[in-house]
């Protein structure tokens, strides 16, 4: 679409000249002969740039037009036309938000240049804002979706710890989003303008892990034909994320501990300590306490890493977040492929709620992306889902609970169906003892009793044969 320019000029001859010039340049031009007319046009909207004379005779002045434009269309630039000798007034106008000014008499090339430059700056600013919006949508809390208490606790911890330089240990099963937590901490920290460097410790061979982390000097080993900085140096001033640190060799653990304690490192083959300023966020799916007892993880490093702990719950324990996660993934893939966003049918949502999700959120994303690409209609049904592993033992009640429901109602009924099935199985496993069941599922006894009442469960329900 052609940019639309509002020319505000009370001298008819100048108005026609500017309108013709800008029209021939390729812009859509609208004209106003007074300040009142300009204000009315601005209230109608759709203005990409305002070119206004400072003096407009009786009524609202060019400064009034400027202020109204900044209030109604703050993203649209305003260029002032000033009489000779009024440069100081023009400078005052720029302090009030004008993009630029052109003194009379002006020539055509000058007008084209000033208008083109202003529109280009606006276009770049708009694209930058869209890019930032996309980045924020695809990182930080945007993909760390959760409405339950467990995820709320994660968000609260991130907000509290981000502004500090404390070391953070993120724990959780594979696919729960541990790197997203690390990225969110970095993005909300004073180090956010510096690098965020992610290292998968499990993906680097034992022979190369120290070179990757700390760098090496020329000639340190066969093939080291030049000095090379490691990941810690690359993250200087920022954050290094050590993913799957539980898979790191013991000898490397000792050197990481030294970096944490002394804030220095030595390249492989080097003898000179180098200062390093990085924040460390580590993650693991392993039980580090068990690894410490086995002697495969250093106890001193373990305590140095878990200054602050963030525990990410598996997806099967927060099934209430499934509808929101699915909706987010469908929006992302539609945006990436340039297609209309697909919807998910209630029966498909119920099927997802019954699945065990051993791969957690990563598995869910893959399932949804595959279904969005391969399904033929605008709505993803149960038959479009490709779930490789067996579901987490629920009945077909989930399907009946959501049949024909709208999205929000489907979500509510799906969660209720899951809670009912989960608590029934837990009560049966504990012989109907509410106190033991509450302890087993991690609930307060009173909360479990309240939930039993909300779901309408009776003792005969959990005393039936499973």
C-alpha dist (Å) from residue 320 to 177, 277, 361: 17, 40, 13
- Region 347-369 average pLDDT: 90
Predicted confidence (pLDDT) per residue in 384-410, tens digit? 998 865 444 443 344 444 444 445 555
Q: Which of 96, 36, 24 is nearest to 66 (CA)?
A: 96
Confidence of residue 293 (pLDDT cuts 50, 70, 90): very high
Q: pLDDT: is 206 or 342 the higher one?
A: 342
Domains of the chain, first to last: 4-135 (3.40.50.2300), 142-313 (3.40.50.300), 316-463 (1.10.8.60)
What is the distance between the alpha carbons of residues 300 and 292, in angstroms, rounded to a whole number? 9
Six token digits for residue 349 = 């949502």
- Region 113-123 average pLDDT: 89
What is the distance between the alpha carbons of residues 269 and 82, in angstroms, rounded to a whole number? 68
pLDDT at 97 over 70: yes
Structure confidence at residue 57 (pLDDT) = 80
Contact 178, 172 (CB under 8 A): yes
- Region 15-20 average pLDDT: 93
Compute φ and ψ for 444, nearest 5 degrees.
-75, 145
pLDDT at 231 over 80: yes
What is the distance between the alpha carbons of residues 439 and 448, in angstroms, rounded to a whole number? 10
Is the pTM of the predicted complex or chain greater than 0.85? no
Cα angle for residues 443, 154, 333 (degrees, 5° grid): 110
CB atoms within 10 A of CB 366: 15
pLDDT above 90 as % of the chain:
41
Predicted confidence (pLDDT) per residue in 208-228, tens digit? 888 889 998 888 887 777 888
Six token digits for residue 104 = 């009379």
Structure confidence at residue 409 (pLDDT) = 55
Which of 108-122, 369-383, 397-411 bottoms out in mean pLDDT, i.e. has the lowest? 397-411
Q: Which of 33, 91, 42 is nearest to 65 (CA)?
A: 42
pLDDT at 330 over 90: yes
Six token digits for residue 258 = 């030294």
Structure confidence at residue 84 (pLDDT) = 62
Which of 22-26, 36-40, 145-149, 342-346 bottoms out in mean pLDDT, i.e. has the lowest? 145-149
Structure confidence at residue 284 (pLDDT) = 94
pLDDT at 140 over 70: no
pLDDT at 446 over 70: yes
Best mean pLDDT range from 125-129, 318-322, 390-394, 462-466: 318-322
Instruction: Give 76: exposed, middle or buried? Use CB within 10 Å, 0-12, 13-18, 19+.
Output: buried
pLDDT at 113 over 60: yes
Q: What is the 3-state secondary structure (H, E, C) of the chain?
A: CCCEEEEECCCHHHHHHHHHHHHHHCCEEEEECCHHHHHHHHHHCCCCEEEEECCCCCCCCHHHHHHHHHHHCCCCCEEEEECCCCHHHHHHHHHCCCCEEEECCCCHHHHHHHHHHHHHHHHHHHHHHHHHHHHHHHCHHHCCCCCCHHHHHHHHHHHHHHCCCCCEEEECCCCCCHHHHHHHHHHCCCCCCCCEEEEEHHHCCCCCHHHHHHCECCCCCCCCCCCECCHHHHCCCCEEEEECHHHCCHHHHHHHHHHHHHCEECCECCCCCEECCCEEEEEECCCHHHHHHHCCCCHHHHHHHCCEEEECCCHHHCHHHHHHHHHHHHHHHHHHHCCCCCEECHHHHHHHHHECCCCHHHHHHHHHHHHHHHCCCCEECHHHCCCCCCECCCCCHHHHHHCCCCHHHHHHHHHHHHHHHHHHHHHHHCCCCHHHHHHHHCCCHHHHHHHHHHHCCCHHHHHCCC
Q: pLDDT: is 451 or 464 the higher one?
A: 451
Radius of gyration of the chain measured on its C-alpha atoms: 31
- Region 3-17 average pLDDT: 92
Which of 3-12, 170-179, 399-408, 442-451 bottoms out in mean pLDDT, i.e. has the lowest? 399-408
- Region 125-130 average pLDDT: 64
Structure confidence at residue 100 (pLDDT) = 87
Q: What's the mean per-residue pLDDT of the chain?
A: 84
Which of 7-16, 232-241, 338-347, 422-431 bottoms out in mean pLDDT, i.e. has the lowest? 422-431
Structure confidence at residue 407 (pLDDT) = 53
């Amino acid at each position: 679409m052609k940019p639309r320019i509002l020319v505000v000029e009370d001298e008819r001859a100048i108005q026609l000249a500017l309108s013709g010039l800008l029209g021939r340049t390729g812009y859509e031009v609208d004209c106003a002969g007074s300040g009142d007319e300009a204000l009315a046009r601005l209230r109608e909207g759709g203005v990409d740039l305002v070119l206004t004379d400072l003096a407009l005779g009786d009524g609202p002045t060019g400064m009034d037009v400027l202020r109204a434009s900044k209030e109604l269309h703050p993203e649209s630039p305003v260029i002032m036309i000033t009489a000779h000798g009024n440069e100081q007034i023009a400078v005052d106008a720029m302090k009030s938000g004008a993009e630029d000014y052109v003194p009379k008499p002006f020539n055509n090339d000058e007008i084209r240049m000033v208008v083109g430059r202003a529109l280009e700056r606006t276009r770049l600013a708009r694209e930058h804002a869209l890019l930032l919006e996309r980045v924020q949508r695809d990182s930080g809390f945007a993909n760390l979706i959760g409405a339950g208490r467990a995820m709320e606790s994660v968000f609260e911890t991130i907000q509290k710890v981000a502004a500090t330089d404390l070391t953070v240990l993120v724990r959780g099963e594979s696919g729960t989003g541990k790197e997203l937590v690390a990225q969110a901490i970095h993005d909300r920290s004073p180090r956010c303008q510096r690098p965020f460097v992610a290292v998968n410790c499990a993906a680097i061979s034992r022979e190369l892990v120290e070179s990757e982390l700390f760098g090496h000097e020329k000639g340190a080993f066969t093939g080291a034909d030049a000095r090379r900085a490691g990941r810690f140096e690359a993250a200087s001033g920022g954050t290094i994320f050590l993913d799957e640190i539980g898979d790191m060799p013991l000898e490397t653990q000792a050197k990481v501990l030294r970096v944490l304690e002394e804030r220095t490192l030595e390249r492989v083959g080097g003898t000179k300590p180098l200062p390093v300023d990085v924040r460390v966020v580590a993650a693991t799916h392993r039980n580090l306490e068990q690894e410490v007892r086995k002697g495969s993880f250093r106890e001193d490093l373990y305590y140095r890493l878990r200054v602050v702990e963030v525990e990410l719950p598996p997806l099967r324990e927060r099934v209430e977040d499934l509808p929101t996660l699915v909706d987010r993934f469908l929006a992302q893939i539609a945006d990436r492929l340039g297609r209309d966003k697909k919807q998910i049918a209630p029966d498909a949502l119920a099927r997802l709620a019954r699945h065990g999700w051993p791969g957690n959120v990563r598995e869910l994303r893959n399932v949804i992306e595959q279904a969005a690409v391969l399904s033929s209609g605008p709505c993803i049904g149960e038959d479009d889902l490709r779930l490789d592993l067996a579901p987490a033992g629920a009945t077909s009640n989930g399907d009946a609970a959501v049949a024909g429901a709208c999205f929000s109602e489907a979500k509510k009924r799906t969660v209720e169906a899951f809670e009912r099935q989960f608590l029934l199985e837990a009560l049966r496993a504990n012989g109907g003892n509410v106190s033991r069941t509450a302890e087993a599922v991690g609930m307060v006894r009173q909360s479990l009793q309240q939930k039993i009442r909300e779901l309408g469960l009776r003792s005969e329900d959990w005393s039936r044969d499973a």
